[in-house]
Structure 1
Amino acid sequence: MRDHQHMESWTIKHFSQANPEGAGQADLPALLRRVADSIENLGPVEVQDLVMHTEITADDDRPSLTVYYHGAED
C-alpha cells in the first residue's frame, strides 16, 4: 500500500488548440502541424499527454487537441 503522506505534488500546464472554424476545420493533419508548431514555440518542454476531442457541428466535425506538459527544468 502506498504511503499517501509522502506523495509528490506538481502542477502540469496545458493548452487546447483547434483549426479555425469554417472550411478546413476538420483537417486533422493541419491541426497536428499547428499543435507541433505551438509545442516548438514553448521551448524545452516535456509533453505528458495529448487528448483529442471532437466537436460535432452542423457543417463538419471540429477536432481539438489538449496538450499537457511541463517545463524541461520542472
Structure 2
Amino acid sequence: MSTGSQSTVDTTATDVTRLQWMNDEQLGYLGQRHLDSVAGIIDVTTGQVRELFSTETAYGRVGSIPTARSPRTAA
C-alpha cells in the first residue's frame, strides 16, 4: 500500500544513483561520495541507514544488472 509520504535520510553525503527494493522494509542503494563508490541499506520503517561498504575502486555497469519489482506493486 502506498502512502505517498516522503522523507529524507542521511547517507553521509553519498550521491545516491541507484535504489532497489530489497524487501518490504529495505531499500538498497549505490552511489558516490567524492570519488568513492558506496553501497548501503535504508530501513524505510525506521529511517536507519547502514553503509555496507565504501571503496576507492569505482563500480560500473558491465552488461545488464537484474532488477526486482517493488514488493509494493507486485501483483
Give TM-score scaled by structure 1 length: 0.32
User: Which protein, 1 or 2, shows the higher relative CO under an 8 Å CA cutoff with sep ≥ 6?
Assistant: 1
Which structure is higher in helix share? 1
Structure 1 or 2, whichever has the larger Rg, is 1
TM-score, scaled to structure 2? 0.32
